[in-house]
Structure 1
């Protein structure tokens, strides 16, 4: 699904990503974890073809960068991020926002068919938002907006779905509700490969069996989450003594 080999990304002669290698296989769901400035956003931009590394090799869905049409490739990658959330008009209908995902457009400018509406409603129902289809997008809560944007991303039937800090700004109830739907989505046999980006360890759900820990633009560790989310590894990662507790198959941290 994703194969990145020894990439370097420099900006103003400074490494943003350095000698980074990472492979995501079909059937895996990954969490990318790192503090602010660790290179998470740049890595996402590499995957989407918005940032091209100065060195190294990138292959997404078996298509190697430099030998493929990136515009067409992006149609197979869904992205939900805070930057997209504020792009839509406040009076745009929820159904219109979801339908726009078919065309990867901000706003709906092309004709849609009855089948498209049925698919959009199916995803809204899956995310418990069908009752909101006629509401203005701008009046929704942040949690509802995030679920609508996930439905929008699914409209294009992506093979990879990137969730870039989707719980940012949500209260604990809205966060847990959104995480519940993400866990449910990961269990769908025909669903996309999920890449979940966060700087909160407690958001690493059981479905994210693998984790990539980024630190200062390099891979600190990668592999199975159960092997990485330990007191020893995380204490070294944070350069602080960390206490780890496990509850409901999730990891919760405190600084000792």
Structure 2
């Protein structure tokens, strides 16, 4: 089964084509980064994948389900999504493990019955992400990076088949960013880890575990393919339409620096 397939997808709003001719497939076992500057169309694509928006034309299949022939509410239960907008909706006085637990019910806050086993599973997810110290702490006292770790654990609570991380390092300082990226690497080592879709406009966040990259610019796919083929100076010069240099980081990561 393919994780997702865009086939000649377009999205038109007020007679403006915001996404054009999107052809993109993710196969089972692949983890992708989506790279693009602000306004490139990344968020529109995510909202389509999650069922919040519908293609104006073309075909979209997610986790084997063709839009127009499937139940979107059922499909969204199979997708985890961590974003800035979600972080802003979380109850500030709620403790970390209960925020994680709420992921089981896809709710903000907990209004359903749960078992001690459910709560223990939520705590163990935090432990598995190296965040045992967050158990018992309320959301409002957590750092930005700690909040992101809690939300990733919350997404994993539902055992998703696809996990979308939408600019998860936004607002983090250098050290918090590296800590979060390490936690993401740790998460992917689990046998039942979901396929990962990591959205960013910073190349240095594209970890080696992300085997493929989709580059999007002005609502169109610029290039897509294997990570090692696209993170090259000639390709990135063309993509950004400005001269850049590449700084080699540890762990085969690469930072783009404008010339």
TM range (shorter): over 0.9
Residue in structure 1 matched with residue 28 of structure 2 by the alignment = 26
Hey, what's the Cα distance between the residues in 1 that align with 2:91 and 2:66? 36
Hey, what's the Cα distance between the residues in 1 that align with 2:118 and 2:80? 17
SS of 1:53's equivalent?
Answer: coil
User: After the TM superposition, which of the residue ranges 132-141 and 172-181 deviates more from structure 2?
Assistant: 132-141
Alignment of 1:218-237 (within 5 A): 218-237=220-239
Residue in structure 2 matched with residue 140 of structure 1 by the alignment = 142
SS of 1:102's equivalent?
Answer: helix
Residue in structure 2 matched with residue 252 of structure 1 by the alignment = 255
Alignment gaps of 5+ in structure 2: none
Q: Does structure 1 conserve the Cα–Cα contact (< 8 Å) formed by 2:98 and 2:122?
A: no
Q: Does structure 1 conserve the Cα–Cα contact (< 8 Å) formed by 2:22 and 2:221?
A: yes
Hey, what's the Cα distance between the residues in 1 that align with 2:228 and 2:189? 19
- Deviations along 1:89-141, one digit per CA (max 9) or x if unpaired, are 21111111111000110111111112211211111001122222211111100
SS of 1:219's equivalent?
Answer: strand
Hey, what's the Cα distance between the residues in 2 that align with 1:186 and 1:14? 39
- Deviations along 1:197-227, one digit per CA (max 9) or x if unpaired, are 0011110001001000000000000000110
Residue in structure 2 matched with residue 12 of structure 1 by the alignment = 14
Q: Does structure 2 conserve the Cα–Cα contact (< 8 Å) formed by 1:163 and 1:197?
A: yes
- Deviations along 1:3-24, one digit per CA (max 9) or x if unpaired, are 1101000111111110001100
Residue in structure 1 matched with residue 176 of structure 2 by the alignment = 174
Residue in structure 1 matched with residue 218 of structure 2 by the alignment = 216
TM-aligned CA deviation for residue 83 of structure 1: 0.3
Among candidates 94, 97, 104, match of residue 96 of structure 2 = 94
SS of 2:55's equivalent?
Answer: coil
TM-aligned CA deviation for residue 190 of structure 1: 1.4
TM-aligned CA deviation for residue 63 of structure 1: 0.7
Residue in structure 2 matched with residue 45 of structure 1 by the alignment = 47
Hey, what's the Cα distance between the residues in 1 that align with 2:190 and 2:6? 26
SS of 1:6's equivalent?
Answer: strand
TM-aligned CA deviation for residue 241 of structure 1: 1.2
TM-aligned CA deviation for residue 187 of structure 1: 2.5
Q: Does structure 2 conserve the Cα–Cα contact (< 8 Å) formed by 1:29 and 1:186?
A: no
Hey, what's the Cα distance between the residues in 1 that align with 2:220 and 2:9? 10
- Deviations along 1:140-197, one digit per CA (max 9) or x if unpaired, are 0000000000000000000000000000000000000000011122222210000000
Alignment of 1:25-174 (within 5 A): 25-174=27-176
